[in-house]
Amino acid sequence: MPPVPFLDLKEGYLELKPDIDAAVSRVVESGWYILGPEVEEFEKRYAEFCEAKHCVTVANGLDALVLSLRALNIGPGDEVIVPANTFIATWLAVSAVGAAPVPVEPDPRTCNIDPALIGAAVTTRTRAIIAVHLYGQPADIDPILAMGQKHGLAIVEDAAQAHGAVYRNRQIGAHSDAVCWSFYPGKNLGAMGDGGGVTTNRDDVADRLRVLRNYGSREKYINEVQGPNSRLDPVQAAVLSVKLDHLKKWNARRRVLARRYLDGLTGVGLPYVPNWADPVWHLFVIRHPKRDQLQSELTELGVGTAIHYPVPPHLQQAYADQGFSKGDFPLSENMAGDMLSLPIGPQLTHADQDVVIDAVNRIAARI
């Protein structure tokens, strides 16, 4: 690992070691290894945290999206509006239910889907919009909800990067029909393996998700629909319950780190935060026209960075049969070319962050 790693997950474990070890032992010794009390306890607590009526956990964030779309009856022949710039899982979920992802470009300042461009993408086949709170920055959800009302569309949020984010003084978690979470280890609330969940205020959506995630079964060996096996592991649920108690504190550290970057960096493009947004800084993403050179020089100086994401979904081989070409979504393509994520994990020390700031400023002043 470089002297200043992009993210060191083991540091997070070491900070909470006694509590995490105790939680894992508790599950192992309970003899209860699928669903059950640990999963229910985490669901109850995460729903409360999100100010949502329900939380239904699943095996991972991709399944949270796929099963939410299924719960909302979206399938073959339907179109779903998605951000052109997102982690590909947002698109893969739409494709997995047999629907077509219809990309919309971001607002170039916030990097989240531009609500003003959504109208032009709506057709008679459009059934839903997925808003992604990318990098932990809340998307502008009110105009998207209004668009949903106007056209009779379901609204789904991909909140995989936004645990604890606040939009217009309300916690992200129940604005729309289904809010989808990933508990992948590197997320703001991360397990020690895969995990996912959906929060919602809709009783019918929560009920369908509970049936869908468990082979389409409500009662053992009685199957209402064809569903996958997509359950959160109780060991992961127990770990997540421990980590949930520290999420606000860890997000607060990220906010301090973000403030220090915003105040200290020069010569690079910085993230923009609208006054209605309280982001949780899953990633701190800067922009520079010579991004690749900046990254390789930082690597030489021992500063770990990452690119989120180097290839937009429409240019991935996985979507080669959809007829997209280079130039179709120029804002997203530019972002893929000039964005660079700096270390911002909650265990990053200010001293190490100063090394990053100094290195970026010196390189940016020269290249």
Ligand X SMILES: *Cc1c(COP(=O)(O)O)cnc(C)c1O
- In angstroms, how far is CA 238 from the centroid of its own chain? 21
* 161 lines the binding site for ligand X (CB under 6 A): yes
Binding segment for ligand X (CB under 6 A), chosen from 122-130, 157-165, 243-251, 326-334, is 157-165
Burial (CB < 10 A; 0-12, 13-18, 19+), residue 2, is middle
Least CB distance from residue 250 to ligand X, whole Å? 17
Radius of gyration of the chain (CA): 20
Cα(182)–Cα(222) distance, rounded to whole angstroms?
29
Binding segment for ligand X (CB under 6 A), chosen from 86-94, 170-178, 225-233, 320-328, is 86-94
C-beta of 59 vs 206, nearer to ligand X? 59
Cβ–Cβ < 8 Å for 178, 204: no
104: nearest Cα among 124, 79, 125: 79
Q: Which tokens belong to 39?
A: 């999963």
Q: Per-residue x/- marks for ligand X, 237-276, CB under 6 A?
A: ----------------------------------------
How many helices and strands (H and E) does the chain possess?
11, 14
Cβ–Cβ < 8 Å for 158, 180: yes
Least CB distance from residue 307 to ligand X, whole Å? 14
Number of residues in contact with ligand X, rule: CB under 6 A? 15
C-beta of 196 vs 346, nearer to ligand X? 196
310: nearest Cα among 340, 270, 344, 343: 340
Binding segment for ligand X (CB under 6 A), chosen from 87-95, 104-112, 242-250, 342-350, is 87-95
Binding segment for ligand X (CB under 6 A), chosen from 84-92, 197-205, 340-348, 351-359, is 84-92
C-beta of 196 vs 343, nearer to ligand X? 196
Q: Which tokens belong to 211?
A: 């049936």
The residues of the shown chain that bind ligand X, judged by CB under 6 A, are 60-62, 86-87, 89-90, 132, 158, 160-161, 182, 184, 194, 196
